[in-house]
């Protein structure tokens, strides 16, 4: 058991060192990553649901410029919002989501976004992932953030079939508070660019100790 723990610790150290080193030259810059404005970050998380980051990037600045608060979303016609969001796909659904989100926050929270998971999840369209992503990227909270890309990366590297959240919790215990946003952004980037369904293992910074590669040989 002691040896297994030491091996896991060493692998976590390698995992984090390589991840952060890779991020220096491969970090994707998006406007919602360069702001501390809770409104901008929450809107981004809604737009990013089932949508690739580059597509959201193509409309985000225009959307925020026109709708820089919840009130403007509520009072405008759906068609105007849909016109901006159309390149994303699911634009009618996202428009309905944004309308519901804005209405609830204005009516129930006086226009202020709640900063606790349980309160956030009372808003109809916000689930675990969106709530935790908002709290991480807006408030820097060390939360468990699990999506398909994150699950794929840690699952392959640590050879997991289950206990993804337990392993992720162990990993983030080793991440400094000030680095938690960068950790998740980099993990999302790696999962979206390299550790894809058919992984580009030769490009991966984790390849020397990745159990997916070991087990494939």
Phi/psi for 176 (5° steps) reads -65, 150
pTM more than 0.75: yes
Computed over every residue of the chain, the mean pLDDT equals 92
Specify the range with the lowest mean pLDDT, choosing from 150-154, 165-169, 210-214.
210-214
What digits encode the pLDDT tens for the residues 55-111? Answer: 999 999 999 999 999 999 999 999 999 999 999 989 999 999 999 999 999 999 999
41-45: average pLDDT: 97
Name the pLDDT band for 4 (thresholds 50, 70, 90).
Answer: very low
Higher pLDDT, 4 or 138: 138
- 192 to 84, 134, 141, 185, 197: CA distances (angstroms): 25, 19, 23, 10, 9
What digits encode the pLDDT tens for the residues 105-146? Answer: 999 999 999 999 999 999 988 999 999 999 999 999 999 999
What digits encode the pLDDT tens for the residues 169-216? Answer: 999 999 999 999 999 999 999 999 999 999 999 999 999 999 987 666
pLDDT at 9 over 90: no
Q: Residue written as tokens 């070991």?
A: 214
* Domains defined along the chain, listed by start: 2-29+145-216 (1.10.1670.10), 35-139 (1.10.340.30)
Within the chain, residue ranges assigned H as helices are 2-26, 38-47, 53-66, 70-75, 78-85, 91-109, 117-120, 128-139, 148-158, 164-173, 180-193, 211-216
- Residue 124: what pLDDT? 80
Separation CA 195–CA 213 (nearest Å): 11
- Residue 213: what pLDDT? 73
């Amino acid at each position: 058991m002691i040896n297994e723990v030491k091996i896991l610790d060493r692998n976590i150290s390698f995992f984090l060192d390589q991840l952060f080193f890779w991020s220096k030259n491969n970090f994707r810059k998006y406007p919602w990553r360069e702001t501390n404005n809770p409104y901008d970050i929450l809107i981004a998380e809604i737009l990013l649901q089932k949508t690739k980051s580059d597509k959201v990037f193509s409309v985000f600045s225009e959307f925020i410029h026109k709708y820089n608060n919840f009130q403007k979303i509520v009072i405008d016609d759906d068609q105007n919002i849909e016109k901006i969001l159309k390149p994303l796909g699911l634009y009618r659904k996202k428009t309905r989501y944004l309308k519901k989100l804005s209405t609830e926050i204005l009516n129930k929270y006086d226009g202020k976004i709640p900063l606790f998971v349980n309160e956030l999840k009372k808003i109809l369209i916000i689930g675990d992932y969106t709530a935790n992503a908002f709290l991480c990227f807006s408030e820097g909270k060390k939360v468990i953030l699990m999506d398909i890309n994150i699950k794929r990366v840690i699952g392959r590297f640590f050879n997991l079939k289950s206990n993804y959240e337990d392993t992720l919790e162990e990993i983030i215990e080793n991440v400094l508070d000030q680095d938690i946003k960068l950790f998740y952004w980099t993990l999302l980037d790696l999962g979206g660019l390299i550790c894809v369904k058919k992984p580009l293992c030769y490009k991966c910074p984790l390849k020397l100790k990745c159990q997916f590669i070991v087990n494939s040989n």
